Structure formats: structure tokens, C-alpha cells
Structure 1
Amino acid sequence: MSSAVNGGERTGKARAYDASRRRALAEEARRNVLAKARELFLDKGYGATTIAEIARAAGVSPESVYKNFGGKPGLVRAIHEQSLLGAGGTPAEERSDQAQLTATDPRALMDQFGRFTAEISPIGAPIVLLIRDAAASGHPGMADLLREIDDSRYRRMLHNARQLVGRGLLRVGLSAEDAADVMFASTTAELYESLVLKRGWGASRYGEFIAALLRANLLGDR
């Protein structure tokens, strides 16, 4: 009986290991598909890129891409969601929340927001611009996705603004709604497009500009 029990324990551990390994391999394959899709979309454009090309580049079947992402709109959505995590190990949104909860110097916090913007914009802005251009060309679902992204970004900015107003970190008399509008305008893909893609600014300079913009509009003389 002891041998049977021990054998059962070993089998259970092996199955748990196998399941964990399968999940890890599936996640690795998913990241690879998204990376190849991102490269192709940004190189060729949304309309000219096919699922077959993405699957071939990622070494998977087109059927698996459809199964996991539901086609090109689902791929673009997943790429955008991935970009919001930022480049650090901890998602940028979590780091931002932590910074807002612990900050005591509002000017230093605006500098931190600038650094977050400099980190996320090079990853996320090109995808938003891809969606914008696809929407303008009439590709199904892209206009709805663009509105969804803007709505989500505004809700995030309002969340940030309410935290800052609640902690008394912004200039006196500034409402959370007005602060959210400033933060919303400061994080548009179009602003990144104008200054970085068209005028050739580096990411660090762009982040410093955003920090200065936020300090001037949210803090005043504080």
C-alpha cells in the first residue's frame, strides 16, 4: 500500500510539472506570436498583413492564431494590452499606483510620471497609431477599438487625478476632472508622433517634456 501511495504522489507531481511546463510553453508561444505580429503590422500596416504571414513568422498554424486571438483585431488588442505593462518586471500601472500612494513631493511625482511615459510610449504609441490609421481606412472593429482605448485611458487618468487630489498633491482649486484632462492630453499617441516620430526627439527628452508639462499645469507654483 505504501508503494502505491508513493507512486501516486510521484505521478501527481509529474502531472503538475507537465501542466506547468505546458502552460509555460503556451505562454512563450503566445508572446512569440504577438512579437511577430507587432513587427509585421508596424512594417507593412494593418491591412497588408495577413494571419498566414504572422503564423508563418511565428512558426505556428493560422488556425492556432485564430483560436487564440480571433483574427487580426484580437491580435492588435492583445499587443496593445501587452504594451501597457511597460518594460519593467512589474506592470507600469502597479508601479504608478504605488508611486502615487507613497509620494510626498509632487514635483518628484511628476518627474516619475514623465519617466513612465518615456517607458510606455515607444511601446504603445505606435500600436495606437496603427489602430487609428486602420480605423481611418475603414477596417472593421478598429474604430470601436480606438474609442475603447481612449475611454480606458481617460478612466485611468481620472483614477490617477482623484488619488492626487485626495492626497492634496495638486494645486489648490484644480478639480480631478480638469487634472484628468491634462493628463489625458499629455499621453496621446499623437503627441508622441509629433515630437518623437516627426521631430526626432529621444524618449528621455520626451519624458522630461511631459514631466514639465504636468508640473506647469497640475502644480503651478507648488
Structure 2
Amino acid sequence: MIAEPARRRYDSLRRAAQAQQTSVEIARAARELFLAKGWAATTVRDVARVAGVSVPTVYAAYGNKTGLTKALADAADLSADVPLLLADLEAATEPRRQLAAMVAYDRRLYERAGDVIVLLREAGRTEPELAQAYRDGRRRGDDAHRQVLSAWPAGTLRDGIDVPAAVDIYAAVCNIDAFTELTAGRGWSPERVGAWWTALLTRELLEER
């Protein structure tokens, strides 16, 4: 009498796990095709074929190609490990260490998901919804940096630099284009880029002690 309900419950868990795995396979196929063929040239049918599922399954999982791309962008943010950033910020005892923690997060983001960020920006040239998603991502980054910088004691930033200017300088130095140029274009390791960004931003933003 007990075995039958239990079996049905496990069947439900099994179906949920299978659906999750299917979503992962679709997302993996989409990322591969978007990067190889370009966003515009890739169709939902292409994604379904590479993922080994039906076209309706792709629509059921993500709605459409735009929804799928936004899901990839959300996964990109998660890949950089926000909990680690928060732990590093809370453990830091001085602004220099908090600045290094922010740079480390952005370096992880660009290393693990920089291709998706570029993809989202390029797709946004023809898809307003994706353009907005890209702008929202940039805004979230600026807001996070602003929140940290605003919490620093008076006199931390160099004379003549206020928080808005500091956020602008950070964005101009630490961005996906600079990361790509230094790593893919000039052979720097991600770790070297992060160390240089930290040293540069420390000089540009913080008052000498």
C-alpha cells in the first residue's frame, strides 16, 4: 500500500530531473550555435536538432529564441559566483581589499561567460528586448559598484573624484572588451588581467596612504 504512492512520488522527481537536464542540453546547444553561427543565423530548429529534442520542447522550455538568450545571460551572472563576492566584501577590512574583490568577480564573469555577454550585446542590435537585457546587466554592475564605493569612509577616494566618477572610471577600465583584447588578443592570463586592473584602479581611485 505504501510502495505505490512512493513510486509515483519518485516518478515525479524523475520527470523534474529529466526536464532540468533537457533545459541544460538546450541551453548548451544554443550557446554552441550562437557562438559558431551567430545569433541571427541560428534558428530554434537548429537548437532543437543539436540538443536532440523537438522544436516544441525548446519553446516549452524557454518560450522563444529571445527567452533562451536571456536565460543564458542569467546563467552567466550566476557563473561568476555572487556568494563568493559577498563573502569577500564582508571579509575585507579596507577599501583596497574590497576593490580587489569587485575586480575578481568581474574577471571571473568575463572568463567564464564573456562570450555570452558579447553575444547578448550583438543580438541586441536587432532585438530591443535583448538590448534592454544587456543594458540592465550593465546597470546592475554599476549599481553594485556604486553601493560598495558609497560605503567607503570620506577621504578614501582621491581628491576630485566622487562616487559617480569612480563608477565611470571602473567601467572604463574593467570591461569585457579590455578583457578580450588582453587575453585573446595579447595572450595575458585572466589572473594577470585581474592583478593589473586591481593595481590600476587602486592608483586611479584611492587616496595614497
Q: Report the AA paired with residue 128 of structure 1.
A: I
Partner residue in 2 for 1:117? 106
Q: Tell which deviates more after alignment, 36-45 or 11-20.
A: 11-20
Q: Which amino acid aligns with 1:67?
A: A
Which residue in the other structure is 2:191 paired with? 204
Match of 2:131 in 1: 143
After TM superposition, give the deviation of residue 76 of structure 1 in Å.
1.3
Distance in structure 2 (CA, Å) of the matches to 1:57 and 1:209: 40
* Alignment check: 8 A CA contact 2:124 2:134 kept: yes
Change (3 A) 1:182 1:24: farther
How many residue pairs get aligned? The number is: 208
Cα deviation code 1:41-82 (max 9, x no counterpart): 111111111111111111111111112212221111111111
TM-score when normalising by structure 2: 0.83
- Distance in 2 of aligned mates of 1:29 and 1:217: 47
Q: State the Cα RMSD in Å.
A: 2.6
TM-score (norm 1): 0.79
2:175 maps to 1:188: yes
Q: Which SS does the other structure have where 2:124 is aligned?
A: helix
Q: Is the 8 A contact 1:165 1:176 kept in 2?
A: no
Decide which of 52, 64, 80 is 1:71's aligned counterpart: 64
Match of 2:55 among 45, 62, 70: 62
Counterpart residue number, 1:155: 143
Distance 1:216 1:11 in 2: 67
8 A contact 2:48–2:55 mirrored in 1: yes
Measured in 1, the distance between the counterparts of 2:155 and 2:68 equals 39
- Write the distance in 2 (CA, Å) between the matches of 1:172 and 1:187: 19
Counterparts in 2 of 1:154 and 1:58: CA distance versus 1, 3 Å:
same
Runs of 5+ unmatched residues, structure 2: none
Deviation of 1:142 (Å): 3.1
Percent identity for Structure 1 against Structure 2:
28
> For 1:118 and 1:133, how far apart are their aligned partners in 2?
21
Q: After the TM superposition, which of the residue ranges 98-107 and 56-65 deviates more from structure 2?
A: 98-107
Change in 2 beyond 3 A, CA 1:171/1:97? same
Q: Structure 1 stretches of 5 or more lacking a match?
A: 1-6
User: Do residues 30 (structure 1) and 23 (structure 2) align?
Assistant: yes
Equivalent pair of 2:39/2:119 in contact (CA under 8 Å): yes
Task: Provide the C-alpha distance between the structure 2 equivalents of 1:199 and 1:114, rounded to a whole number of angstroms.
Answer: 20
Offset of 1:140 from its aligned partner? Answer: 4.9
Q: Deviations over 1:128-173 (max 9, x none)?
A: 222222333x3453322322222222222223333x426x794476
Aligned partner of residue 78 in structure 2, secondary structure: coil
